[in-house]
Amino acid sequence: MELTAIKGFKDILPDEVGHWQRLESIARSLLGSYGFQEIKTPVMEYMELFSRGIGQETDIVSKEMYTLHDSRGRGMTLRPEATASVVRAYVQHRLDQKGPIQKLFSIGPMFRHERPQKGRFRQFHQINAEMFGDAGPKSDADIIVMAVHLFEMIGISDLTLNLNSLGCPECRPRFREELSCYLKDLSGSLCPDCQRRAVTNPLRVFDCKVESCGNAVINAPSVVEFLCGACVDHFESLKEYLGDAGVEFTLNHRLVRGLDYYNRTTFEIQTNRLGAQNAVAGGGRYDGLVRLLSGPDQPAIGFAVGMERVIALLEEGGRSETKTPGLFIAGMGDEAERLCFKWAAELRRSGIWVEMDYAQRGLKSQMKKAGRIGARKVLIIGGDELARGKALLKDMDAKEQHEIEINNIIEILKKVLNKND
């Protein structure tokens, strides 16, 4: 095979597109009920947006971005995530002036140059929600409840909500320093990766799956011990709101997220059914990002849902329902076929799904085709019927057929076919 899709880029074929449509439609309607409005931003942005927004040191920016250069040599990057773009649009169009709270969502493809594996692709799709303008715990809770609600609506259970607080610029540096010291003492028992992390980003050691590192970190200082009073209050209050909403969560002090901009609340919705990629949604608070991107000092919180991962879970439950044509028209003979073609066009104008054969074939083969594609009714007309001013309408399930008048056939068919839908 010489012409294939790019590695890590996938076709979504007709058989699976039903799940995508359902997911998007549920998301649009549910997020709408929480007051979120859709925003569509370009898939490409100037490179600096991501290097500033996501963090120069992150894996995403340092080695996973698809960047090309315009004629003047300016870097343009296929977005690796949506938040930076949405923040940019929020700042550029001064959306903060439209009202104190802005709730935005977007759906679309993201691009990261990673090695593909189960649940991980180079082009993948996210549903992304962001709320700007509120710093309090109620907005955290609202966002998280909405995320959980979304999965309920989609019909996916046995997910767990992991929750953590990373602290704020007041308290995180103290924790980071303490942790770094702690890790320095036992760097001998850490894997090579973690020895590096201990210096560059000590929080990430919590994420390591190597057993010895996990053990080394068991008695490490925990973020929560270092949270400042304001962060503790925020976190406690969030937990109360979640309790009120009946949302169960697991405290996970090791939940450290990869993007630099998070502060305070972080959360992840996880499954154990997807191999190594266990997060189906993840997000958190990023109060400093808007200002970092030259905007007003507005707090924000958001999350992203990995659509491929959600759909992988849906596919375990089987294929989505496929729709079937309402009517198949089987005509025999030139005159009848021309009439049929005309009728098909008229019926389709009123929204009825009509199929017919494109070659001039016998009735048997047309019936076969009608049966295979699942047509619920078949209109049969040939020379005999034409001469008598009648046509045959067959119900495929009931295996019954009766004659109808050609005179006002369109009206009759519309009436019969709309009744079924």
Partner RNA sequence: GUGAGUGUAGCUCAGUUGGCAGAGCACUGGGUUGUGGCCCCAGUGGUCGUGGGUUCAAGUCCCAUCACUCACCCCA
List residues binding RNA (CB under 7 A): 4, 7-8, 58-60, 64, 81, 112, 114-121, 124, 126, 193, 197, 204, 207-210, 257-259, 268, 275-282, 304-306, 308-309, 332, 361-365, 367-372, 378, 380, 382-385, 392, 394, 396-397, 399, 401
Residue 197 among known ligand-binding residues:
no
Residue 126 among known ligand-binding residues:
yes
Residue 336 among known ligand-binding residues:
no
Shortest Cβ distance from residue 380 to RNA (Å)? 5
* CB nearer RNA, residue 167 or residue 331: 331
- Pairing type for strands 102-111 and 123-132 reads antiparallel
CA distance 284 to 287: 10
* CB nearer RNA, residue 188 or residue 229: 188
Shortest Cβ distance from residue 417 to RNA (Å)? 16
Shortest Cβ distance from residue 131 to RNA (Å)? 16
CA distance 333 to 236: 77
Sign of the CA dihedral 219, 223, 228, 230?
negative
Amino acid, single-letter form, for residue 344: A
Shortest Cβ distance from residue 244 to RNA (Å)? 25
70's CB contacts (< 8 A; 6+ apart) are 76
Shortest Cβ distance from residue 6 to RNA (Å)? 7
CA distance 417 to 421: 7
Shortest Cβ distance from residue 247 to RNA (Å)? 17
CB 152 within 8 A of CB 245: no
Shortest Cβ distance from residue 181 to RNA (Å)? 20
What DSSP state is assigned to residue 57?
A: T
Residue 77 among known ligand-binding residues:
no
CB atoms closer than 10 angstroms to residue 129 = 28
Beta bridge partners of 87: none
* CB nearer RNA, residue 88 or residue 96: 88
The two three-digit tokens of residue 173, written as one number: 């540096």
Residue by residue, what is the 3-state secondary structure of 299-320?
CEEEEEEEHHHHHHHHHHCCCC
Residue 115 among known ligand-binding residues:
no
123's CB contacts (< 8 A; 6+ apart) are 6, 8, 9, 10, 109, 110, 111
Residue 141 CA, chain-centre distance (Å), reads 20
* CB nearer RNA, residue 93 or residue 361: 361
* CB nearer RNA, residue 133 or residue 282: 282
CA distance 287 to 137: 12
Residue 398 among known ligand-binding residues:
no
Residue 388 among known ligand-binding residues:
no
* CB nearer RNA, residue 4 or residue 97: 4
From residue 332, give the alpha-carbon distance in Å to each of 11, 30, 210, 219, 329: 38, 49, 71, 82, 10
CA distance 42 to 74: 17
* CB nearer RNA, residue 67 or residue 237: 67
Residue 123 among known ligand-binding residues:
no
Residue 66 among known ligand-binding residues:
no
Shortest Cβ distance from residue 198 to RNA (Å)? 12
- Pairing type for strands 37-38 and 102-111 reads parallel
Sign of the CA dihedral 375, 312, 115, 306?
positive
* CB nearer RNA, residue 155 or residue 374: 374
Shortest Cβ distance from residue 235 to RNA (Å)? 20
Amino acid, single-letter form, for residue 77: T
* CB nearer RNA, residue 252 or residue 277: 277
CA distance 43 to 128: 14
List binding-site positions for L-histidine.
81-83, 112, 126, 130, 257, 261-262
Task: Please enumerate, by residue number, every residue annotated as part of a binding site.
Answer: 81-83, 112, 126, 130, 257, 261-262
